[in-house]
Amino acid sequence: MHFDLTDLRLFIHVAESKSLTRGAERSHLSLPAASARVKELENQAGVRLLYRAPRGVALTPAGQSLLQHARILLAQIEYLKGDLQRFGEGVTGHIRVFANTTAVTEFMPEVLATFLNDHPQVDVDLQERLTGEIIRGVLDGTTDLGIVSGPIDDAGLEKHHFSTDRLVLALPLGHRLAGAGKVHFADTLEDDFIGLHEGSTLQTFLNQLMRDVKRQLHIRVQVSNFESLCRMVEAGVGIGVVPESAGIRHSRTMKLVLKELDEPWALRERYVLTRQGAALPSFTQALIDTILRLNRTLAAPGGTAPAVAKAKPPRRPKAAKA
């Protein structure tokens, strides 16, 4: 059985767009050529890979399996190219990272500033995703790295622990719970809440928490980030749950009271996830090392992130050969 890399890339494009036409366009092929390539893939595999319908295509179980393996194979080829290139003009590569809301907004900006300064020829695609999507992406090769908080099923994954994420309650000055010690979350359920946008990892976690106890938070306002959430709390619109790091940072410029939540779920371990047994290119391992190093520095007493050196000039595109 012979698989051409062009065929595998085409199949990924068709599967992701759910359309032979759009998959052909993304692969820069004519529709008849793309259709013939997919049919030849099915002939070689001996099974149907796509369900065809007037409005598009869907993957058969065999097609799902091929998609997963195709992503892994093409990712490994990119890793190979990256490792070989470092022996020439320097590493050039691309890293895709799926991360939860806290990672995207709280510490990855500093991490990437340091990493990209040290690796100017590497590009990073950082996407905010839910925990389930992050895990699936790491397992099927859609993403190179995942960043999550909380308990994780280890099957097929390698976990790199780098810090602890504590969720705290953000209150306005004068709130009835401002003078309390630790706060039980049940004591807040009659309050108005400021929530994050639907689809954010933290909001999804809180919504599931409420479904488990058959209750519902009264979300007065939904916002897109922790800074806006804290601003709403400061103005007295409601209360909110935020990562401790975000709460501390915004309390320096806003009038907030932060309260520790006396709940087992409020303390969550943070991990970088990779696929078990995956061979990582040197620059991907370097990004993991940067995440671990900077977060452990920040977690140390009195720790501060290392100053980021002046950015190196961006790489210039190579001149096309005549």
Largest Cα–Cα separation, the chain: 74
Cβ atoms of 113 and 120 closer than 8 Å: no
Residue 270 pairs with which residues in a beta bridge?
149, 163
Per-residue pLDDT reduced to its tens digit, 99-147: 998 898 888 999 999 999 999 888 899 998 888 889 989 988 889 999 9
Q: Please tell me whether residue 147 adopts helix, strand or coil conformation.
A: strand
Number of neighbours of residue 146 by Cβ within 10 angstroms = 29
Span between the terminal Cα atoms of the chain, in Å = 37
Torsion of CA 95, 96, 100, 104, to 10 degrees: 60
Q: DSSP letter at 242?
A: E
Yes or no: say if 185 and 160 are a contact pair by the CB < 8 Å rule.
no
Q: Residue 94, Cβ neighbours under 10 Å: how many? A: 14
Tokens standing for residue 57: 């295509």
What is the spatial distance between Cα 57 and Cα 129, in angstroms, rounded to a whole number?
25
What's residue 3's pLDDT? 76
pTM of the entire structure?
Answer: 0.61
Using the 8-state DSSP alphabet, how is residue 105 labeled? I
Token pair listed for 106: 């709280």
Average pLDDT rounded to a whole number, residues 84-104: 76
Q: Which pLDDT value is given to residue 74?
A: 83
| Integer Cα distance of 222 and 198 in angstroms | 8
Q: Summarize the confidence of residues 218-225 as an average pLDDT.
A: 93
Per-residue pLDDT tens for 5-33?
A: 888 999 999 999 999 999 999 999 999 99
Question: Tokens for 244?
Answer: 């401790």
Cα separation, 71 vs 66, in Å, equals: 9
Contact of 164 with 269, CB cutoff 8 Å? yes
